[in-house]
Chain A
Amino acid sequence: MRPFSYSRARTLGDAAQLTHDDTALAIAGGTNLLDLMKLQVETPETLADISRIGFGGIEDTDDGGLSIGALASNTETAVHPRVRSDYPVLARAILAGATQQLRNKATTGGNLCQRTRCFYFTNIDQPCNKREPGSGCGAIDGIAKLHAVLGTSDQCIATYPGDMAVALSALDAQVEIAKSGGDTRTVPVRDFHCLPGDTPWRENVLEEGELITAVTLPAPVGGTQIYRKVRERSSYAFALVSVAAVVEIEDGKFTRADLAFGGLAHKPWQDPRIGEALMGKVPSDDLFDKAADILLEDARGFGENDFKIPLARRTLHAVLQNATEAAA
């Protein structure tokens, strides 16, 4: 690990001050950042420890929703009684990721900001436009089993690896952000992560000096909530494909179909046309196929990950089938 100076922030203001510099990084749980620092993928000159500035609470909001502090651990979120009863797709998504040891340290904010697990990104001897702009993308003609099939660019085909944000997207959660001057702004989780385009190093909309303070969930909508994660082993593996679904069926027809997909793109993937195609329709194999056609219309594989296209189709089909059975 390269030498760095370590400072402990006591307040949000401290934290914003200490990180308002492109050689400084904030550290909270540290499970992703320290891993990348050992690999010298990240080489900050200053680490600002923000783990003790508050913002770890999970509280009811005035409109019946739930505010999850940026520093709440993934475990604290997944076991929170209201998350389990009102937002089960979120609890399921978190529990499907990593290990108990990692979830005990990982935080809400850090989970949203975690970096891709692309092998070219994490190996400094390999080309990577995300890590070293202009050096090329090793994955496009290389080892690409985990890589994206939607929203890729000729610069980068990495995936966003997390599960939590996929469920948060389906639940229409908002990211609360504090700016260094004391201002705040709110960004929907579904708009928080970026597609790679020509700037693959830019993974989310956070600007320098901005910190996530919380994620806010709207009042619970109920329905059948499913998180289906397909991976290469049954525990502790990143998603090849995942589907978060919040679905309601009334009088035999879809009255809600909020879907988000993991493992397919550089961000949790959502396409409002899928829900529109399902709404008001009677569940059927043909309808599920139509939904998958919309999802995968522009899908493109890179050899090793071609399998993700039929796998995403089958996983979406299975989730809609399960939701239909649950509503019957």
Chain B
Amino acid sequence: MTDTISVNGQQHTLPSDPRTSLLDFLRHDLGLTGTKKGCDHGQCGACTVIVNGIRINSCLTLAAMHDGDEVTTIEGLGTPDNPSALQKAFLEHDGFQCGYCTPGQICSATAMLQEIANNWPSDASESLEGEMAATGEEIRERMSGNLCRCGAYANIVAAISEVAEESA
């Protein structure tokens, strides 16, 4: 039986070399170069993708371990003609400069808004229980796994805040 993985709704066969990270599989084998390789050690978040609804660092997981999983990359969130709410907000708020961290930022923020909707607490949450809100402080803490070397953080927070308010 062949091991398969679903990426943005399409089935693919998993790679034969077990060393292939999910990140390299997406970029090299599938040509989905939206997902970026920054540090390749889980420190920068440029490689963030959504697997079974959960955001992870695709550089720190083997593609071979994802038999049957459903992956969403930046290409699966929207297109230039039909961008997602976050993709649109990043454009409107100038939430980037060089753009290299942006796909990871947007995948991460997409899953983060769902985590807040689930009322999952963060280190910045006053209480561990009850309703969670997408305050600036919460967004900064929850997005701390996504670095931006251009320092576009203020605009990134503004873009995410706008979408959080719209969906609240």
Contacts and interface: CB of A to CB of B under 8 A. Distances in A.
Q: Do A and B come from one complex?
A: yes
B36 interface: no
Given A34-B21, A101-B45, A78 B57 contact: no
Interface in B108-150: 108, 111-112, 115, 118, 120-123, 125, 128-129, 140-142, 144-145
A5 B18 contact: yes
A34 B18 contact: no
B70 interface: no
B62 interface: yes
Interface residues of B, number: 35
B121 A104 contact: no
B160 interface: no
A75 B122 CA distance: 10
Interface stretch (B26-34, B48-56, B151-159): B48-56
A5 B31 CA distance: 26
Given A27-B65, A99-B45, A100-B55, A35 B60 contact: yes
Contact of A31 (B42, B64, B108, B123): B42
Chain A CB within 10 A, most for which of B40, B65, B108: B65
Contacts, number: 94
A236 B144 contact: yes
B47 to A, nearest CB: 9
A102 B57 contact: yes
A79 B120 contact: yes
Given A31-B42, A95-B121, A4 B18 contact: yes
B71 to A, nearest CB: 14
Contacts of B19: 1, 3-4
Contacts of A102: 42, 57, 60, 145
Interface in A1-34: 1, 3-6, 8, 27, 30-31, 34
A88 B125 CA distance: 12
27 contacts: A4-B19, A5-B18, A31-B60, A34-B61, A35-B41, A49-B62, A49-B65, A78-B121, A79-B120, A88-B128, A95-B123, A98-B145, A99-B45, A99-B144, A99-B145, A100-B55, A100-B112, A100-B122, A101-B42, A101-B45, A102-B42, A102-B145, A104-B56, A105-B60, A235-B123, A235-B141, A236-B145
